[in-house]
Structure formats: structure tokens, C-alpha cells
Structure 1
Amino acid sequence: MLTVTCASLSGGQGKTTSALFLGRSLAAQGQRVLMIDADPQSSLSFYLGCELSPDQPTLLEVLKKEIDVVDSLLAVDDRLTLIPADDALDSAQDFLATSGMGAIVLRRRLLPLQDRFDFCVIDAPPQRSQLCMTSVGAADQLLIPAEASSKGLNSLLRTLDLVAEMSEVEAFQGQILGVLPFRDRWLGRTQAKQSQKSLESMQEVAAGHPILPSILESEQFKKAIDQGVSLAALGYADLEYPFRTILEKLGCE
């Protein structure tokens, strides 16, 4: 199982959108995909239509090792499985902080699933927190979504700083898959000046890491999420190009 974590240290960077469409794209290619909602806001769980029953285990119980990780798995469809989250996940912060090895807890908890899935996609929370660090620490490949704006550039800088710090102490042992620009705005065939300037700045600060094709600003992403369908099903297969590129980098296209 190869684990891809989507992480960015600011809200509104397209992190959950990226995780959702990447997971669905992998599943559409016939891959066995595990998705993990590591954000207490639980947007990924909601987008995947997950309605938790009171006794449904979540990532919280997995991290605390209160259950076998297999018992937390929730089937979304034949190829897609979810470890969900809810508001209670925030209480895992203290556990991870006092465990003495918080950054590698999730990596260890996932070991029993290595042969069960082909890919794992983790949606990390948008704060520099214990939950974010354990999500990054679990990654073989790290995908960094960043809005094509000054806020996105700052988020990218902060995320790269965190990765550098974790790499220095070997808490992150994976690779950066790439920076994924989000909400790249075009007016017809002309790229908005703010988007163009932001992408140029991202190239400068990315320290040689790949800048992937942008997720374009489009209402079709929201429609696809709301309807639980692919962009191609809505007639906008061209908007899936960033994810096809990622699949190629992962050897799946």
C-alpha cells in the first residue's frame, strides 16, 4: 500500500477536494483505495456520504489503539473504503502529544492494512497540529495543494517548513509528490494576473519540487462533489487533468 497525504497549513487550499478526487480517480482505475479523514471538521467523511452511527469506530479509536484498525473500515463502494472522522477526533491531539512518538503513530497503525489496499489517501487537517504531523509522518508521497493566491503561497511556505523539520528528525521519510495549485483563475484563454503571479512565486519557493498542473477555478468541482459523480460524468473531463497527471506519477495511468 502506498500512502499519499494531502496537507497544507491553511484553510481553503483545496486539500479535501484534492484528496476526494484523487481517491475517486484511483478507484476508477481499479485500485483498492483506503481514504482516511484525519481532519476533525470531517468534510471528507461528509463528501463520501458517511453517516456515522453512534457505535461506528473512527480514526480516533484507531490512533488510540482502542480497536483493531480493520474494525474501523467503512465501505463506500467496491473499490473505496473510508476510515471516517468526527468532531471527537480533536481529542486525539493530547494523546499524540503525550505518546512520545505522535508523528509516527498513524504510520504504525496502518501496518496491518499494507496488503489489503493498493493506495491510501489521507486528508490532513489544515493546522500545524499533532494530527497534521501524524498524517504527514504516515506519507510515502506528500501532495501539497496551495491556492493560487498570496494566502496559498504563505501556506506552501509553512508546509514546506514543517516537512523540512520533520525530515530532519526522520519523522517524515517520504517524498514530496508535488505542489498542486488550486483555484487557478482564467478569464477565457487568459490567466488572471494574480494566479499567474502566484504560480511564478510558487515555482521560486518550491525548492525544486514539482509544480503540478493546476486545479482550475470552476463551479463544476462543487457540483461533482454534491452529486457524488466524476467531473467526466458532468461533461468536464478536461478538469480532471491534474489528477490524471498525479495518477501517471503514481504509475496508475
Structure 2
Amino acid sequence: MAIVAIASPKGGVGKTTSTIALGGLLAQSQSCLAVDLDPQGNLTMGFGIDMEKDQIGSYDVMTRQETPEEPIIETEMGLHILPTDSTLARAENEISEDPKRFFVLKEQLKSLQNRYTNILIDCPPNMGLLTLNALAAADAVLVPVQCQYYSLRGLDRLFDEISDIRKTYNLRLRLLGVLPTMAENTLMTRRVLEELKKRHHQVTIFKPVPKSIQFAEASFVGQPIHHFSRNRKLIEPYERVIRAIAPQTQNTPKEYLL
């Protein structure tokens, strides 16, 4: 079982969009669970799931009231979702005094090790206790970065924090790479990508994901991008990430080729 956290302390950089895209592609050939660990619940809503009042989800898992098997929902495309809603925000306070507070998610996911080949964790846009739980449980972390200059400023600090987490909580954690998102055919995007590669030449920089309204449209109807669009430019960057997550994965299924 490979666990990948999709994390960034900045909001609006494409974490949820990337989790949806990657999860949808992985589910074509392997068992995959996507964990919504962001109290905003955008991943849950992005798959067309409306949490009902008192419906169990990530909050119940993080507070150890339920095992993760109970709230899991299977989507039409075969991807499984551990959903959430705003109640998850209370979990950080409720487990803050727990001596094992950084390892709650890791312990809870152990029961799924024979059920899924891959688990993706959509993290909140901060480095709080929920994100630390995700990184303590993960084998690798993918960092989406919007193609804007201000997005580069926090990367050094983020990489330092990931290194500290590796030393303190999770020796096996590795940086899968940086995924540039919302790329446009502009001078600014080209300069940002050049600067990104220059500053972080030791880090894998994946092919950038183009900016497109089709990602929002796909989320609106609860579908991964490859179910919604035949535009190869939108899908290919995620296929490359998939090959880094699961090298044994074959090329895109024929039905999704133009």
C-alpha cells in the first residue's frame, strides 16, 4: 500500500483538483482510496458527495470514534472516498492532548493495508495537526505549486518542514516532487518554471498542469478530468505523476486516448 499526501500550506494551488485527477486515473487499474482531510470538504464535494447531517466521515476516524472502513463511499468510477465536512475542524482540538496525536491517521489506516494499493490524502492548506498526521502516515508527499512568483517563496520553508517531519515522525517519507499547476502560455509562467527548476534542481519537477475552466466544470459534475475531457494536455501531466507513484502502472487505458 502506497500512501501519498498532496500537501501545500497555500490554498488555491490545485491540491484537491490534483487528488481528484490522480485518484480517478489510479482507480482505472488499481484499488485506490482518496482521504478528504480538509475541513472544507472540497474533495468530497468534487466527487458529487453531499454529506448528510450526522453522517460519519474523517472526523469520526480522526477522533477514533469509527474505524476508516465504516464511512468509506465507493464512486461510480471505482475510486473509494473517505469523506468529510466542516466537523473535521474540531478534531484537531479534540486530539491535541493525545500523546499519539501525530500518528492517529497512520494507526487508523493500518486496517486498510490489504484493501488498497494506493491511498491519496488531500490535506488542508496549512501545516496544522491534520497535515502533520497525513505526512506522518504517508510514504511520499506531492506538492502542487501555482505558476505565480509568490508561490515560490514558501517552498524552501515547506521543504525544510518536510525534512523535519521525516527526521522526527516518519523516516520513510520522501518528496515525490513538485507539480506546477494553472500554467499559462505566458512569459510569467515560463519564468516561474525556470526559477523553480533553478532553485530546486534536486527535486523532481513534473510537467505543469495547464490552467483550464474544464477542471472546475469536471468538479461541478463530480468527475475526474479524464472522464470529463478528452484534452490530452490536461490529462498527461497527471499520468506522469501516476507513473512516479506506481511505476508498474501501464500507459493510459485506450478508451481515454484521442
Same fold (TM over 0.5): yes
Structure 2: distance between partners of 1:48 and 1:35: 10
Percent identity of paired positions between Structure 1 and Structure 2: 27
- 1:89-108 to structure 2, matched below 5 A, reads 89-108=88-107
- Which amino acid counterpart does residue 225 of structure 1 have in structure 2? S
Aligned to 2:70, the other structure's residue is in SS state helix
Structure 1: distance between partners of 2:128 and 2:92: 7
- Match for residue 25 of structure 1? 25
Structure 1: distance between partners of 2:103 and 2:6: 16
Structure 1: distance between partners of 2:148 and 2:100: 35
Q: C-alpha displacement at 1:212, in angstroms?
A: 0.4
Structure 1: distance between partners of 2:135 and 2:26: 20
- Which amino acid counterpart does residue 81 of structure 2 have in structure 1? L
Is the alpha carbon distance of 1:240 and 1:71 closer, same or farther for their aligned partners in structure 2, counting shifts above 3 Å?
Answer: same
Q: C-alpha displacement at 1:168, in angstroms?
A: 2.1
Structure 1: distance between partners of 2:145 and 2:23: 18
Structure 2: distance between partners of 1:213 and 1:207: 14
Structure 1: distance between partners of 2:217 and 2:77: 23
Structure 2: distance between partners of 1:235 and 1:117: 28
Would you say the 8 A contact 2:20–2:224 is kept in 1?
Answer: no
- Match for residue 199 of structure 1? 193
- How many residue pairs get aligned? The number is 247
Q: Does 1:153 align with 2:147?
A: no
Structure 2: distance between partners of 1:105 and 1:172: 17
Q: Unpaired runs of 5+ in structure 2? A: 251-258
- Match for residue 225 of structure 1? 219
Q: C-alpha displacement at 1:123, in angstroms?
A: 0.2
Aligned to 1:176, the other structure's residue is in SS state strand
Is the alpha carbon distance of 1:230 and 1:38 closer, same or farther for their aligned partners in structure 2, counting shifts above 3 Å?
Answer: closer
Which of residues 222, 225, 240 in structure 1 aligns to 2:235?
240
Structure 1: distance between partners of 2:157 and 2:212: 26
Is the alpha carbon distance of 1:107 and 1:184 closer, same or farther for their aligned partners in structure 2, counting shifts above 3 Å?
Answer: same
Aligned to 2:114, the other structure's residue is in SS state coil
- Match for residue 180 of structure 1? 179
Structure 1: distance between partners of 2:200 and 2:220: 33
- 1:124-139 to structure 2, matched below 5 A, reads 124-139=123-138
Q: Unpaired runs of 5+ in structure 1? A: 187-191
Structure 1: distance between partners of 2:62 and 2:211: 35
Aligned to 2:159, the other structure's residue is in SS state helix
Q: C-alpha displacement at 1:118, in angstroms?
A: 1.2
- After TM superposition, the score normalised by the length of structure 2 is 0.90
- After TM superposition, the score normalised by the length of structure 1 is 0.91
Would you say the 8 A contact 2:3–2:119 is kept in 1?
Answer: yes
- Match for residue 162 of structure 1? 161
Which of residues 191, 198, 215 in structure 1 aligns to 2:209?
215
- Match for residue 253 of structure 2? none
Would you say the 8 A contact 1:137–1:173 is kept in 2?
Answer: no
Q: C-alpha displacement at 1:138, in angstroms?
A: 1.4
Aligned to 1:93, the other structure's residue is in SS state helix
Would you say the 8 A contact 1:144–1:156 is kept in 2?
Answer: no
Structure 1: distance between partners of 2:83 and 2:220: 18
- Match for residue 254 of structure 2? none
- Match for residue 112 of structure 1? 111
Deviations 1:78-120 (A, max 9, x none): 6211111111111111234221233222111100001111111
- Which amino acid counterpart does residue 240 of structure 2 have in structure 1? T
Structure 2: distance between partners of 1:151 and 1:85: 30
Q: Does 1:142 align with 2:137?
A: no
Would you say the 8 A contact 1:144–1:178 is kept in 2?
Answer: yes
Q: C-alpha displacement at 1:172, in angstroms?
A: 5.5
Structure 1: distance between partners of 2:132 and 2:201: 21
